[in-house]
Amino acid sequence: MNALNVKKTYKLYVGGKFIRSESGKTLPAHAANGEFLDNHAWASRKDLRDAVAAARAAQDGWAKSTAYLKGQILYRAAEMMQGRAAELVHELSRSLNVSHEQSSREVTATIDRLVHFAGWTDKYQQVFGSVNPVATSHFNFTTPEPTGVVVVVAPDEPALLALIGAVVPVIVSGNSAIVLASEKHPLPALTLGEILATSDLPGGVVNILAGRRAELAPHLANHLDINAIVDASGDHALTAQLQSGTAVNLKRYAQRALTSDEWFTARAENPYWILDTVEMKTAWHPIGV
């Protein structure tokens, strides 16, 4: 007797928990050739609001943790990805209809990208901060601090590497993130949520939603408790909509206009991306006599 093939319904990852959409709706996930793979929860406007609340609740504690601890936690996440690399390779292969070798290349590059940016947790402040010359008897310091809650819109390809490459520069400084996964290939991102849940990353620091971009984009753009948007979608109509909402509460907006191949290059390892979601704080301190 043949075993029953039970299809999986992938959950959203919000606040460190796996949730079904509050609407109860699901969407089918298809391979690049149109083959049905599995179902996944369909993120609604309410799910987005819940993700923002979870990200806000987690952000202060994450920002206050030491740079060393942030780096160690991100290294641990890379270790967990390495341990479940075969699962990620499988998800990429079946979602994009590519060879095992191509998927392995992307998974390896994704882990390397995570380790690369993890190494910046205790360096970016020294590199991008400054001691400023002033004409009074004061020390004057400028240091980067996290801006708060950041939305990251991932591109369709590369489904995993680009997601990590866009998200990690956001969280290394102490921001929390809400990720809108690829609409065409959401399963690798949702599998990543399952891996992050078993790492040391505090719940709510990274939240992963999957659904229709066109439905969620207006709410992403207009939400008053979102401080910045990192847009790697490559979708011009979506970009215009997200940019139009930045004036609502003076959100920062940063675009990652890279081709699929460029995500594998040094261009996607740019440490200046960290600056797109930080605020520069200047402090004065009197010089003692």
Residue 1: inside a domain, yes or no? no
Residue 234: inside a domain, yes or no? yes
Burial of 4 (0-12, 13-18, 19+ CB in 10 A): exposed
Residue 4: inside a domain, yes or no? no
Cis peptide before 158 (omega within 30 of 0): yes
Neighbouring-strand partners of residue 9 = 39
- Between 37-41, 65-69, 113-117, 134-138, the lowest mean confidence (pLDDT) is in 134-138
Residue 3: inside a domain, yes or no? no
Residue 97: other Cβ atoms inside 10 A: 13
Is the pLDDT score of 289 beyond 60? no
Q: Which residue bears the tokens 């509460």?
A: 249
- Overall domain count for the chain: 1
Burial of 266 (0-12, 13-18, 19+ CB in 10 A): exposed
Residue 5: inside a domain, yes or no? no
Task: Name the phi and psi angles at 140, rounded to 5.
Answer: -130, 115
Q: Give the chain's mean pLDDT.
A: 91
pTM score: 0.91
Q: Which residue bears the tokens 């075993």?
A: 3
Q: Which residue bears the tokens 């992050």?
A: 196
The three-point CA angle 102-108-113 to 5° equals 125
Helices 161-171 and 100-118: angle between axes, nearest 10 degrees:
10
Which of 254, 258, 209 shows the shortest CA–CA distance to 231?
254
Tokens of 111: 């882990």
Torsion of CA 191, 254, 53, 59, to 10 degrees: 90
Residue 68: inside a domain, yes or no? yes
How much is the average pLDDT of 190-210?
A: 94
Is the pLDDT score of 79 beyond 60? yes
Which of 132, 211, 145, 140 shows the shortest CA–CA distance to 178?
211
Is the pLDDT score of 4 beyond 90? no
Residue 261: inside a domain, yes or no? yes
pLDDT (0 to 100) of residue 2 = 64
DSSP 3-state assignment of 243? helix
- Domain extent, residue 214, equals 10-286
pLDDT (0 to 100) of residue 240 = 87
Label each residue of 31-79 as H, E or C.
CCCCCEEEEEECCCHHHHHHHHHHHHHHHHHHHHCCHHHHHHHHHHHHH
Which of 87, 100, 92 shows the shortest CA–CA distance to 31?
92
- Whether 62 and 176 have beta carbons less than 8 Å apart is answered as yes
Question: Which has more pLDDT, 241 or 105?
Answer: 105
pLDDT (0 to 100) of residue 91 = 93
CA distance 89 to 12: 20
pLDDT (0 to 100) of residue 1 = 57
- Whether 127 and 119 have beta carbons less than 8 Å apart is answered as no
How much is the average pLDDT of 200-219?
A: 93
| CA dihedral for 158, 164, 165, 166, sign (positive or negative) | positive
Per-residue confidence band for 28, with pLDDT thresholds at 50, 70 and 90:
very high
Q: What is the per-residue pLDDT across 50-77, written as a single tens digit (0 to 9) for each?
A: 999 999 999 999 999 999 999 999 999 9
pLDDT (0 to 100) of residue 279 = 92
Task: Name the phi and psi angles at 276, rounded to 5.
Answer: -70, -20
Is the pLDDT score of 126 beyond 70? yes
Q: What is the per-residue pLDDT across 223-260, written as a single tens digit (0 to 9) for each?
A: 999 999 999 988 888 888 888 888 888 889 999 989 99
Is the pLDDT score of 43 beyond 90? yes
CA distance 56 to 277: 15
CA distance 74 to 171: 10
Percent of the chain with pLDDT over 90: 74
Residue 2: inside a domain, yes or no? no
Per-residue confidence band for 265, with pLDDT thresholds at 50, 70 and 90:
very high
What CATH number does the domain containing 66 carry? 3.40.605.10
